[in-house]
Amino acid sequence: MRAFLFPGQGSQAVGMGAALAEASQAARDTFAEVDEALGQNLFRLMREGPEEELKLTENAQPAIMANSLAVFAALTKEGGVDFAKAANFVAGHSLGEYSALAAAGSFDLPTTAKLLKLRGQAMQRAVPVGQGAMAALLGADLELARRIAEAAARGEVCTVANDNDPTQVVLSGHKGAIDRVVEIAKEMGAKRAIPLPVSAPFHCPLMQPAAEAMRDALSYVMVGDPVVPVFANVTAQPESDPDTIRNLLVEQVTGMVRWRESVANMGEAGVEEFVELGGKVLGTMVKRILPDVKVTSVVSIEDLEALAKEIA
């Protein structure tokens, strides 16, 4: 069995998608369709930068999705891969869940781009710059991360945002609390805590205004039945019901990304091969969770052609 994975924020880089677009008409069409939907030359920003502008949440989120779905389009339209037959499950990390849902046919591409642009803007607006922060705990499991978060909170918000793999958990909340996390993490048993270069504290209760914005936006959107089940971030379970998917996307804004559990549960369901489209971050996490599975990262046209030859 095979699962396709779609990366989240942090996978953006100036130059992303440029070589793929040169080699693939389907990729070029994807980037053009996203640009048209947003009324923005996002692909030029992806190709040329500046990096500071690309890193802005409202740009990074649709850009990462566009890159993943350009790979997906080239694989399915030009590589001859029948996605419904090739995939048993899909999953995406945070914003990547939208990419996964688009690949599975629950959203069309313009809708996905607009939702992620709005999501990025709403997340940025939810907490004034400088008031929130995030830190990655290395050498810490979920239980230790929760103890560190509780000790650092001191009346402020400090919660687990991402349970990524057995050795990496991300905390999110008020800046003061996250500063305390960095101070106390080592003495509490973590290898170290690294402040993350993010502009807002994602996946914590401070994001509630953004969750309400997404609830409103998603209420107007048609959610189709996915052609394969989508493992949801907040349940770590396969979901296929459109109304459930809609509600879980709202919960996801403030909820913990249960990535470690999602991957482990896919493994228990029989998945032996994981294919990451448009990035190389999730594959590393997968190998820490399930060391014996096959992991393939598809970024370049060469990666894509090799995979298409294998599974088409």
State what percent of residues in the chain have pLDDT above 90: 94
Confidence at residue 55, expressed as pLDDT on a 0 to 100 scale: 87
Task: Catalogue the active-site residues.
Answer: 94, 203
- 134-152 pLDDT, tens digit per residue, is 999 999 999 999 999 999 9
Highest mean pLDDT among 7-11, 14-18, 145-149, 300-304: 145-149
Task: Give the whole-angstrom CA distance, residue 201 versus residue 207.
Answer: 7
What is the average per-residue pLDDT within 112-119? 97
Catalogue all structural domains in the chain, each as residue range(s) with its CATH number. Answer: 2-126+206-311 (3.40.366.10), 132-198 (3.30.70.250)
Confidence at residue 68, expressed as pLDDT on a 0 to 100 scale: 98
Confidence at residue 198, expressed as pLDDT on a 0 to 100 scale: 83
Residue 30 has pLDDT above 90, yes or no: yes
Q: How confident is the model at residue 208 (pLDDT cuts 50, 70, 90)?
A: very high
Confidence at residue 59, expressed as pLDDT on a 0 to 100 scale: 94
Task: Give the whole-angstrom CA distance, residue 201 versus residue 161.
Answer: 9
